Amino acid sequence: MANHVKKGSWTADEDSLLSHYVTLHGEGHWNSVAHSTGLKRTGKSCRLRWLNYLRPNVRRGNITLQEQLVILQLHSRWGNRWSKIARFLPERTDNEIKNYWRTRVQKQAKQLKCDVNSKRFRDTMRLVWIPRLVERIAATSGQSLPACTETSTSTPTISESTWDDNSVNADTSGWGDGFEAGWWEEDGVESSFESLWTEENIRFLQQQLFD
């Protein structure tokens, strides 16, 4: 029945109502939220708003090197299983990880003129980018690096059983100087993919991919 379901951006009042409800009753039973609070939103919408925005400890923006590493690692193994990947980054939502992948990684794959889901791109990610990222993080943090650094006591870790060793041990010798300079250069917390994508590196990667 037409119950004037509201769509679009949430207002502060709606956020407040939803937060209050979940604080009192806990997560779940999303369809009853609308009835109880008077919100003109679907249960789905309430759930999404809570999980992606209102939930405590949700962090947005500034994907760190460590987080990038986890995302790249897990995506190379599981593909677009965003919620599964998000379990390893408890402060990040599956939606944000998905957006990060689409806006950053896919864009760069396009620059390389290959499909982001192609084996070639995945192999490049797994055999070259990730090991290099590991090196960068180790270098900047001055410590040996577990695959997942965002873990807490209640957070799953990437165990050996869930992770291919060969991705980390991949032989990257012979990948030339193009990767030595500028790879994952830090620019404060904002550092990220972008520095990777110099013209030189893109040309080099294209060569490697299509030779």
Which residues contact DNA by CB under 7 A?
Answer: 6-10, 27-32, 41, 43-45, 47-49, 52-53, 60-61, 80-84, 94-96, 98-100, 102-104, 107
Question: In the complex with DNA, which residue's Cβ is closer, 100 or 134?
Answer: 100
Q: SS in 3 state form for 66-80?
A: HHHHHHHHHHHHHCC
* Minimum distance from residue 193 beta carbon to DNA (Å): 9
* Minimum distance from residue 170 beta carbon to DNA (Å): 26
From first CA to last CA, the distance across the chain in angstroms is 60
Question: In the complex with DNA, which residue's Cβ is closer, 98 or 168?
Answer: 98
Question: In the complex with DNA, which residue's Cβ is closer, 45 or 73?
Answer: 45
Picking from 11, 52, 17, the residue whose alpha carbon sits closest to that of residue 36 is 17
Enter the tokens of residue 80. Answer: 């677009």
d(CA 124, CA 86): 22
**Contact predicate 33/43, CB 8 Å:** yes
* Minimum distance from residue 90 beta carbon to DNA (Å): 13
* Minimum distance from residue 172 beta carbon to DNA (Å): 27
Question: Residues near 120 by Cβ (< 8 Å), separated by ≥ 6?
Answer: 114, 209
Element (H, E) at 117: none
* Minimum distance from residue 81 beta carbon to DNA (Å): 4
Question: In the complex with DNA, which residue's Cβ is closer, 95 or 172?
Answer: 95
Question: In the complex with DNA, which residue's Cβ is closer, 18 or 114?
Answer: 18
